[in-house]
Structure 1
Amino acid sequence: MLVHPQLNPIALDLGILQVHWYGLTYLAAFGLFHFLATRRIRQAPFVAGGWQPRDVEDLLFFGVVGVILGGRLGYVLFYKPMHYLQNPLEVLAVWKGGMAFHGGLLGVLVAMALFAHLRGRRFFEVTDLIAPCVPTGLAMGRVGNFINGELWGRAADASLPWAMVFPQSGSDLPRHPSQVYQFLLEGLSLFVILWCYGRSRGAHHRADGAVVWGRVSGLFMIGYGAFRFIAEYFREPDSFLGLLTFNLSMGQWLCVPMIAAGALIWASAGRRAA
């Protein structure tokens, strides 16, 4: 069995200032988004839409605000509503941890809707642009989870070559390194799928040649929801929630409407020709 190396979560300690690895993974995520999005706008039909590098910088600003606010509020509302209702000031204590992807997604969608409104662009044009650029950021987040030794997996057979003991879990049980699974699934695999699909003509054009928006966004929601649903079978459920109805975790239940919404968006995209 492997044993988690228990890396120091602090990458750089300057006394009055501590730089955490998790914070650095967030910076890497935002840097990768900027790198990929500036290349995405060189693809048709974004060139025809007049997208410029300055637009990407503004998108990144809106997205960062949406991720932080949405991720925090999502965690508060989806996972510990009663705790924060009794301790409302702790909602602001982000340094104690507590971010939810599904909340971050909702926050980003609101931010993108505001950006689209202010710039006079279609909402799904904006989300189709950013969708293939998001999974690498998710992958960086899972790297941070692994370094911190958090969000470990469920118990695994000791004969599994990559089974790992996470001392942070308080036991010597071999576990699935679910952070690595999510890195590979909702990070790298989803990126490859969306980037390749986003470059294809069928992603943005109907058979009659009309430009359509929403297919890449819909595929992102389907792909992330499906990959996260699978990964949750190997990830230890939150101790304060456990498994819910039908032995599904909260993360899995939040993926169900996401997959359904993604399928609806993708299927109806052809009827929303620009």
Structure 2
Amino acid sequence: MPLVIPYPAIDPIALQLGPISVKWYGIAYLAGLVLGWLYIKQLLRTERLWPSGKPALEADDIDDLLLWMTLGVVVGGRLGNVLLYHPGYYLKNPLEIFALWHGGMSFHGGLIGSVLAIWLFARRRKVATLTVGDLCAAAVPIGIFFGRIANFINAEIVGRPSNVPWAMVFPGAGPVPRHPSQLYEAGL
């Protein structure tokens, strides 16, 4: 058997407060959204980024954008999971669609939900959609970083089989060593 790094079986629950479980995945969403929001606020304060020296949006607008993006990511991510991966299950158990604490989000759905949220926000604020999109695109790597770390903790989205010395045997993915692709993507 090739040399492998043991998978560090991290509990997906970061904190248990009585009946309430705080999961790493939820912390990742929160960290990505809040740090992305703070980064966008910093971009607004950087005058040289704006041709007229004045940004197209005010800091208060970005507070509202955080709400729009949260809804876009969460609603889109959940609907993407429901429609793309488990439609039969949710047709039989429609109330489970709202049980976010059971897990089940889709990157593709979150992306579509975010694009829709950006478009609606820009339209409402009468600002160019691409301006809002550019600001959000600058913050996306922050969210992807935390999301992929959470995927690693949950042993999800495992990589291809590999013989590299840093390959890992992930639980639920068979006895084959695999690339820790979640960490690669977090690092990009």
Q: TM-score scaled by structure 1? A: 0.62
Q: Paired residue for 1:169?
A: 172
2:89 to 83, 91, 114: 83
Q: Paired residue for 2:77?
A: 71
Alignment of 1:253-264 (within 5 A): none
8 Å Cα contact 1:152/1:169 also seen in 2: no
Q: Secondary structure of 1:165's match?
A: coil
Change (3 A) 1:46 1:174: farther
Q: Which runs of 5+ in 2 are unaligned?
A: none
1:35 to 29, 35, 38: 38
Q: Which runs of 5+ in 1 are unaligned?
A: 186-274
2:116 to 110, 113, 116: 110
Q: Secondary structure of 2:157's match?
A: coil
Change (3 A) 1:58 1:45: farther
CA distance in 1, matches of 2:53, 2:172: 50
| Greater RCO structure (CA 8 Å; 6+ sep) | 2
Change (3 A) 1:93 1:14: closer
Alignment of 1:19-34 (within 5 A): 19-34=22-37
Quick one: which amino acid aligns to residue 176 of structure 1?
A: H
Q: TM-score scaled by structure 2? A: 0.88
8 Å Cα contact 1:2/1:163 also seen in 2: yes
Change (3 A) 1:46 1:75: farther
8 Å Cα contact 1:156/1:174 also seen in 2: yes
CA distance in 2, matches of 1:78, 1:174: 28
CA distance in 2, matches of 1:54, 1:76: 33
Using the TM superposition, name which of 125-134 and 14-23 deviates more: 14-23
CA distance in 1, matches of 2:36, 2:52: 16
Change (3 A) 1:138 1:46: farther
CA distance in 1, matches of 2:53, 2:71: 26
Alignment RMSD (CA, Å): 1.8
Distance apart, 1:69 and its partner CA: 0.2
**How many residues are matched?**
182
1:62 maps onto 2:68 in alignment: yes
**Identity percentage over the alignment?**
46
Change (3 A) 1:49 1:38: closer
